[in-house]
A and B are shown apart, each in its own frame.
Chain A
Amino acid sequence: MSKTKPGSTATVERLPKPRPGRRAFLGGVALGGVAAFTGARGARGASRTEIAFASAKFFGKETVAQVVGMYNASQSRVHVTYIELPPPSASTEVHQLLVQQLARQSGSPDVFTQDVIWIAEFAGAGWALPLDQEFGADVRKQYFPGVIQACTWGGKLTALPWFIDSGMLYYRTDLLGSAAVPETWDELVALAQAAEKSGRARFGFLWQGKQAEVLVCDLVEFVASNGGAILGPDGRTVMIDDDKSVQAVQFMRDTIDRYKISPQDVLSWDEEPSRRPFTGGQAMFLRNWSYVYTIAQDPKASSVVGKVGVAPLPHFPGGRSAACLGGYQYGVNASTKNRDAAIDFVRWMSSPATQLHFATELGLAPTRPDVFDDPKLAQSQPFMQKLKPVFLGATPRPVTPKYAQVTLVLQSSVSRALADGNVKQALSGAKERIAAIVAS
């Protein structure tokens, strides 16, 4: 018999306080999850049309995601979710990811960005929505004609212009001195050889000859500046082994072999490895895209700050300067379920105000000639204003839905021609294979 101490309250046998069981815990988590989910949705308020926008990664002082955020904040009808793809330097990966999404034809992404060379391919595959109805002739007049031409396939506009880039000639103003900027390739050769001989430049002329897409860009510039072409305007006549084209490729080979103004290393160099010797002060002329100028003026990355000039590329006698057209453009998914929302978004992104914003904050040149004349652009990107004449001469790469296969053949054949010097033989082989591809 237990004795209780006098004066103490009797201790009552209490059952242990029930601890929250496992079931209660899981139930709480589930409820919390549901609440969070519905709560988040509720916070967005009234139903906005949700669309997805997949874009290659670009950045400058701002990112594409921030521009998309501007659109979302500017109106309450549409909400855009931004899907970031790899940067354009990894363009095969961007292409692969886009194709994987578009081939499923599930409606996502509603809006996407396409490199200029994929427009015909996506249009031919039926993945891009024709935009002629929403963007009539009066709208199309507001853009550069070369870009609109590149955005059209089969007579239908399947892409809306975003930004433009093209190849251009960079030169050292200090090495050029009082001489005129070369307008023909022969003038460039003479100046480059003189600079090399005097020892002021280690390399006369740098360009990109690596067996990659950039080789086709360089090829287009040389060939078109001689009045030649790779593919005829009908998209079926192969002209790569015509005399003018053969001459142009022979000149490419001669810069290494005969004139010795380019090192053989250009055959393994693409944009960055060829840019570095130039901004390191070792070369006199460089063919490259517009991004080089900003780097050349950055004292942390360049030894030639303030000594770099830009001009249209030279041409052959009787030809015209040709710049290879580059840049990404907008496309609307043909299977999109939110067509009006997608068109609204694309219209806003391609408007003059947004193009100006892209130009000043991300360094992406506008595709509207009027935006080039805006004083705000002159203030923040004076260099870009000077590029208008270069962009007006932009030449597209061969426009065909089979471009992906055509470019692989071109890369292989031209690389072979440049490596062993049998230009005519390599280009004839290319003509046969390309003819087989575009005929089927």
Chain B
Amino acid sequence: MTRPAAIGDTLRRAAPSLAAVRRRRADWAPLLLLLPTTISLGSVSVYPILDGLWLSLHNTTLATREDRFVGWLNYRLLATDPDFWSAWRHTLEFTAISTLAETAIGLGMALLLVERFTGRGLVRAAMLIPWAMPTVVTSKMFGWLFDGQNGLVNWVLRSLHLIGGNIDWYGSPNTALGTIIFVDVWKTTPFMALLLLAGLQTIPHSLHEAARIDGAGAWQTFWHVRLPMLVPILLIAAMFRALDAFRIFDLVYVLTGGGPADSTEVLSTLTYKTLFSALEFGYGSALSTAMFATEALIALCFGVLIVRGMRRQGR
């Protein structure tokens, strides 16, 4: 081997590792640039979650100045606490019914609004008003509408002879949760309708025309063309809504405060009372960790469905 060739070979053999070194150094640069953002986001979102987890392993109570490490005691108490399980059931009930209702009604609204008609712009803007109103205002308004003695709803239903006497909407354990679900559906359906409208608008018009040429009616077009294409958006919107509904607080707190007879107690109100009224920060952290775990489970289920839906569409 000639010397220059030897040198050339050595250099060529060294060259890949030099490039590798340069590559590795280049890999560090973007990570370093991301570090400030990661730290600031992590400190306000990840750190509190971990701190809450750590707090839930203590029996911290502000009023009695207790603060001992107790391991899983709070979770054992949680597992046998009837208040927790009834609040958990109410929250799941609320989430399931309100998400289903809002998705169904929202889909109907979106199907109407995707068609062309005079005043469509106005209707689209007006439909957002319930969602734009502050929740406290909505709560007060529906508090008066559904008032058992002097509310408008009772008066209308009685005038139409649909009910014999006044119904005590918020004072009866049988109707209180249903009334709150109704208020939430009124408030949040526009949000779902908006998301589904956006989804409907991504469906190419050529598909409708093709279906029409093939002689499909309105229902068949909906069932076989629009709905399958809408499934990913539907699932994503439903997931957003379900995760939000699980955390419902302001409606319940303002309208009934958790009563009557704990029939509208949801996990958020229970956690708030435990943390800020009873000042039991250890047990309250265990409650919020349990909420977090359930929400993660719901998100996981939806995630699986969404991924499968997208795979079926070949994306």
Contact = CB atoms under 8 A, between A and B. Distances in A.
A103 interface: yes
B160 to A, nearest CB: 21
A267 B168 contact: yes
A276 B173 CA distance: 23
Interface residues of B, number: 31
A401 B63 contact: yes
B178 interface: no
Interface stretch (B68-76, B119-127, B272-280): B272-280
Interface string A102-141: 0100000000000000000100111000000000000000
A419 B277 contact: no
Contact of A415 (B83, B170, B260): B260
Nearest to A406: B278
B258 A211 contact: yes
Interface string A260-295: 000111111100010011000010000000000000
Task: Describe B's contact surface by its main secondary structure.
Answer: loop
Nearest to A203: B149
A125 to B, nearest CB: 5
Interface in B251-298: 256-263, 273, 276-280
Interface stretch (A36-44, A92-100, A142-150, A311-319): A92-100
Interface string A408-423: 1001100110111000
A125 B65 contact: yes
B148 interface: yes
Contact of A404 (B150, B257, B278): B278
A265 B148 contact: yes
B62 interface: yes
B171 A265 contact: yes
Contacts of A99: 62, 276, 279
Interface residues of A, number: 39
Given A99-B62, A273-B147, A401-B63, A265 B260 contact: no
A276 B260 CA distance: 20
Contacts of B40: none
Contacts of A265: 147-149, 168, 170-171
A57 interface: no
B146 to A, nearest CB: 10
Contacts of B260: 209-211, 267-268, 415, 418-419
A92 B258 CA distance: 14
Contact of A408 (B149, B176, B256, B278): B278
Nearest to A97: B276
A418 B150 CA distance: 22
Interface in A409-440: 411-412, 415-416, 418-420
A402 B64 CA distance: 8
A417 to B, nearest CB: 8
Contacts of B262: 211, 412, 415-416
A375 to B, nearest CB: 42
A176 interface: no
B172 interface: yes
A189 interface: no
B283 to A, nearest CB: 10
A212 interface: yes
A42 B285 CA distance: 48
Nearest to B270: A408
A66 interface: no
Given A265-B147, A265-B149, A415 B259 contact: yes
A211 B276 contact: no
Contact of B62 (A92, A125, A269, A411): A125
A47 interface: no
A276 B150 CA distance: 10
B62 A211 contact: no
Nearest to B144: A273
Contacts of B279: 99, 121, 404
A275 B63 CA distance: 34
A423 to B, nearest CB: 12
A405 interface: yes
A418 B257 CA distance: 16
Most buried by A among B62, B149, B169, B176: B149
Given A125-B62, A125-B63, A412-B261, A268 B170 contact: yes
Nearest to A102: B62
A211 B277 CA distance: 14
A202 B165 CA distance: 14
Nearest to B66: A440
Interface in B151-176: 166, 168-173, 176
A284 to B, nearest CB: 15
Given A277-B150, A408-B273, A419 B173 contact: yes
Nearest to A206: B149
A416 B256 CA distance: 14
Among A276, A402, A405, A418, the most chain B Cβ lie within 10 Å of the Cβ of: A405
B149 A277 contact: yes
Which 3 A-B pairs give the minimum distances between C-beta atoms? A211-B259, A265-B148, A268-B171
16 contacts: A92-B276, A121-B279, A125-B63, A125-B65, A211-B257, A211-B261, A264-B168, A264-B171, A267-B172, A268-B169, A268-B171, A269-B171, A277-B150, A404-B278, A415-B261, A420-B261
Interface of A: 92, 95-96, 99, 103, 121, 124-126, 202-203, 209-212, 263-269, 273, 276-277, 282, 401-402, 404-405, 407-408, 411-412, 415-416, 418-420
Interface of B: 62-65, 83, 147-150, 166, 168-173, 176, 256-263, 273, 276-280
Given A211-B262, A404-B63, 14 more contacts: A125-B65, A210-B260, A264-B172, A265-B147, A268-B176, A268-B259, A268-B260, A277-B149, A282-B149, A401-B64, A407-B277, A416-B261, A419-B172, A420-B261
